[in-house]
Amino acid sequence: MLWIFWLVFAYFMGSIPYGLFIGKICCSIDVRHEGSKSTGATNVARLCGFKYGVAALILDLGKGFVPVIMASQYSHNWAFISLVGAAAVLGHVFSMFLDMKGGKAVATTIGVFLAVAPAAVIWSVIALIAVIILSGFVSMGSLTFAILLPVFTLITGSIGMVPLACCMTLLLFWTHRANIQRLAKGEEISWKKK
C-alpha cells in the first residue's frame, strides 16, 4: 500500500503543468497552442523569455527530484525508487491536468537522476549543452542526453538505475518523434534563430 501511495504522489507531482501556469500568468500565453505546443521549459523560454524558461526548467526538475529524493529516504530498494522516478516522468508526459498530454520529459528526467545518480546526470547534461551549442538544436542535445544517460549511469556505478535510464531513453525518443522528423527534413527550429 505504501508503494502505491508513493507512485500516486510521484505521478501527481509530475502532472503539475508549471510551464502552462507560467505562460498564462506571466505572459498571457497558452503554451499548448503556440511554438512547439509543449508545456516544457524550451517552449516557455521561446514564447515568454529566457528567465521564464529557466523558472519552468527548475520547477520541472523539481517534479522529478523531490518525489525521488523523498522516496529514497523511505527505501533504498532500486526497483521502488525507479518506479517512483518513472511515475514522476510519466506524470509530466501524460498529465492528469492536461487530458493526459504534457511535455517531453527531459527536465523531469534530469531531476529524477539528479536525486539518485548525480554524476551520471551531470556528465549527460554536459554533453546535452555541448551539442546544443555546437548544433543550435535543443532537440538534438536532448536526444544526445537520452542516449548517454544509461551509459553514464552504468559507468558511474549506479547500476540499479540503468534499467530506468534505458526506459527513459526510449521514452525521450518517443516524446521527440516530431523533432526527429523535422531534423531529418531539415525543418527543425534552431535556438540561434530569432
Select from 146, 152, 147 the least CA-distant residue to 120. 152
pLDDT in tens, 94-141: 999 999 998 899 999 999 999 999 999 999 999 999 999 999 999 999
30-82, pLDDT tens digit by residue? 999 988 788 888 889 989 999 999 999 999 999 999 999 999 998 989 999 99
Question: What gap in Å lies between CA 192 and CA 103, rounded to an integer?
Answer: 22
User: In this structure, what are the phi and psi dihedrals at residue 27, rounded to the nearest 5 degrees?
Assistant: -140, 20
Question: What is the rounded distance in angstroms from the CA atom of residue 178 to the CA atom of residue 194?
Answer: 21
pLDDT-derived band at 193, boundaries 50, 70, 90: low
> Residue 32 is placed in which grid cell?
499548448
Residue with the larger pLDDT of the pair 10 and 41 = 10
Among residues of the chain, what percentage have pLDDT more than 70? 97
- Cα four-point dihedral sign 62, 95, 79, 1: positive
pTM to 2 decimal places: 0.92
Contact indicator for 12, 91 with CB cutoff of 8 Å: yes
